[in-house]
Structure 1
Amino acid sequence: MVAPPSIVFPPMTVPLDPDLRLNDPADPVAVEATTWFVRLRDQGAGPSDRAAFDAWLQADSAHGTAYADVEALWAGLDGATFPVAVSEPGAGGGLESLRRRTLLSRRAMAAAAALVLTVGVSLPSLATHLATDAQTGVGQSRSLTLADGSLAVLDADSAIAVDIAADRRDVRLLRGRVWVQAAHEARPFRVHVGPAAVRDIGTAFEVSRYGDAGTVAVTEGSVELTLADGPALPLVAGQAARFDRGGAVFAGSAAGTRPAWVPDPTDGQGASPARLRFVDAPLSEVLADLQRHGAGRILVTDAALKRRRITGTVDPAQPRVALNAVLARVDARVDRVGPFVVVRPKSRRGSDEDR
């Protein structure tokens, strides 16, 4: 399969298609409608549930409209599957056993949606929280100095676990993105993410995680990227690589001494505002970054759409405007259902080109 050409858009200058404008945070009625949709499809639903649902419908005409919207959107998913991390009962491996990727059917996704809507937390996120030494929330960033003097800057909705001992310095990226400026000393410094390890060789570098895949971008010095027992891929300042369990490849470049999203304390109040820069990145990664910055819980129903390539710069302080700008270039439409932002192709033409 030949990858489609990268779609390039100028920073924040794309006119917004009215059809792409997102609503403000989820309407409570839409959340209720989504909850009823999930509840009525549970195998344990009975006459009392149906009676309560009928009463809810009759209480307000807006309820029926919202429920019809949920039904119509769900029918349009066409059996799409979505990757989520689930716990594997009885499995060893601690945190990693919780991060096994599983494809859920629409029915299983409904159960997951019910859990999110009712308790607002998932098992993987709870496990990540328990294993975390430092983390950030959606739309937040944080700089911290590690015990060895290294600087770590966490991007939005990111988490790391740190293990610094007499013979090693290990950082595990549990989610999101981190930029590290490693202190120079004899102990090896590594950042672990999914199947990969990035070994510092006197440098500063950025690592991003997307499930069991990720990216590395070197801003100073050099690193070695290794997967399992495979050979090391050397990267020097200005180079970037993309990896998954299948291997690693060079991908784009890393400009400057710091990523665009990392603030420079030496710039004072004249510092440039943070930006998210994408170079030939798949849409799935772009949307994951925007979700971490507050664009909403994003689900993409079309595999070909996820593979579309994006090059451009957006403002993370305006995540929904940025989302609109990106989706306007890939022939996509947005629907909001409860807490979810569902992205679908406007037409099949764009998807067919990617197959």
Structure 2
Amino acid sequence: MTASVDDRDAPGDALPAQARVWLRLLASGEVKASDAEAFQRWLHTSEAHRAAFHEVKQRWAALRPVSGEYLRTRPAAAAAHERALQGRNFGRRAFLGAAVSAAAVAGVAVVAYPQGGLWPAAGEGTADDRTAVGEQRTLALASRVQVTLNTQTRIRRERAAGQLTGIDLLSGEAAIDLLAEGGPFGVVAGAGRSLAHAGRFEVRHLDGKVCVTCVEGALRIEHPAGVRALQAGQQAVYDAQSLSGIARVALENVSAWRRGELVFDQTRLAEVLAEINRYRAGRVLLVNGAAGEKRVSGRFRLASLDSALAQLEHTFGLRARSLPGGLLLLS
């Protein structure tokens, strides 16, 4: 990999972005001699360049206290981090001198806070449609098909013989409204596919787990582990290996996001905060493991999530500490 941010005449507001590119490269374990030379040239272009890199490095450093907690509470992220460490050749960076310490900081922070908006998420470029943090958007994909994307959602449109046949829900949450009877419309998510001819259903694909809810009409879930036929008010969950049975759910709670609300019923505080994180810029991290097991019941407006956090802090006696990069630490 060869970096291409050696722009000596870059305006001041471009320098922080360039510094982030360099820091990410230094943390990647893929630094070549040409990269190191280019980095040194960029760094010594001016005092402004050095100040920009120092500022970005300091922001990453501020994340170190919370990165360990993030990895401890997210086994999948911890495993990915371990694989990345095993695959790196740190000897190739020995000649970088002072830059090595910056890379060490970034190597942890990249795992701890990958959705900080500093670079596109993995696979971002493969999506046809996407929403940002807190954004919801309704798409008219065909005359009878409307798809509403919830926050941080990415989809790819699926076609056959020039006709739209469904979507691939790469990540996030989508509500599908089939306004008239017609051919099957499918939603691929993870290892399974949900098919319906009419009605309404919702699919949520997060952290390798997929939840399918039939809101109106009927649908069919096809999965390597079996098939499920859902009616209105029913839900099934699957991952790469398994497919659950059929459960009854409260549709008012499941679809609350479409009304601008989050509804919880005896939900663990840790799960509540994880859900809030999907809609709120920055990130909330709970470092009090015992508090994470406490139960929450309530209704919160998506437009007032900071008020919801203040209410949770008061209810459970938590202390809040703001960190750079939009992080809020609760203890």
Query: Normalising to structure 1: TM-score of the pair?
Result: 0.57
Q: Which secondary structure state, in structure 2, belongs to the residue aligned with residue 289 of structure 1?
A: helix
5 Å-filtered alignment, 1:207-286, equals: 207-226=203-222, 228-245=223-240, 246-249=242-245, 250=247, 252-255=249-252, 259-262=255-258, 274-279=260-265, 281=267, 283=269, 285-286=271-272
> What percent of counterpart residues are identical?
23
C-alpha spacing 1:75/1:288, structure 2 compared with 1 (3 Å): closer
C-alpha spacing 1:165/1:338, structure 2 compared with 1 (3 Å): same
Structure 1, residues 95-146: CA drift from partner, whole Å, max 9, x if none? Answer: xxxxxxxxxx9984334469877x811451xx22x22222222222111111
Paired with 2:315 and 2:210, the residues of 1 have a C-alpha distance of: 24
Q: Which secondary structure state, in structure 1, belongs to the residue aligned with residue 158 of structure 2?
A: strand
Contact 2:64 2:109 in 1 (8 A): no
C-alpha spacing 1:276/1:115, structure 2 compared with 1 (3 Å): closer
Contact 2:70 2:112 in 1 (8 A): no
Please report how far the alpha carbon of residue 73 of structure 1 lies from its aligned counterpart in structure 2 after TM superposition.
3.6
1:335 equivalent to 2:318? Answer no
Q: Find the partner of 2:142 among 140, 147, 155.
A: 147
C-alpha spacing 1:76/1:151, structure 2 compared with 1 (3 Å): closer
- Name the stretch that deviates more: 304-313 or 244-253: 304-313
Q: Find the partner of 2:158 among 151, 160, 163.
A: 163
For CA contacts below 8 A with separation 6 or more, give which structure has more relative contact order: 1
In structure 1, what residue type is equivalent to 2:145?
Answer: S
Please report how far the alpha carbon of residue 170 of structure 1 lies from its aligned counterpart in structure 2 after TM superposition.
2.1
Q: Find the partner of 1:193 among 181, 186, 189.
A: 189
Mark the runs of 5 or more structure 2 residues left unpaired by the alignment: 1-15, 32-39, 41-50, 85-103
Contact 1:79 1:106 in 2 (8 A): no
C-alpha spacing 1:144/1:113, structure 2 compared with 1 (3 Å): same
Max Rg structure = 2
Paired with 2:291 and 2:237, the residues of 1 have a C-alpha distance of: 19
Two-structure CA RMSD over aligned residues (Å): 4.6
1:80 equivalent to 2:77? Answer no
Q: How many residues align?
A: 262
Bigger helix share: 2
Q: Find the partner of 2:131 among 136, 147, 154.
A: 136
Mark the runs of 5 or more structure 1 residues left unpaired by the alignment: 1-30, 49-58, 90-104, 264-273, 347-355
Aligned to 1:315: 301
C-alpha spacing 1:75/1:168, structure 2 compared with 1 (3 Å): closer
Please report how far the alpha carbon of residue 204 of structure 1 lies from its aligned counterpart in structure 2 after TM superposition.
0.3
Paired with 2:204 and 2:113, the residues of 1 have a C-alpha distance of: 29
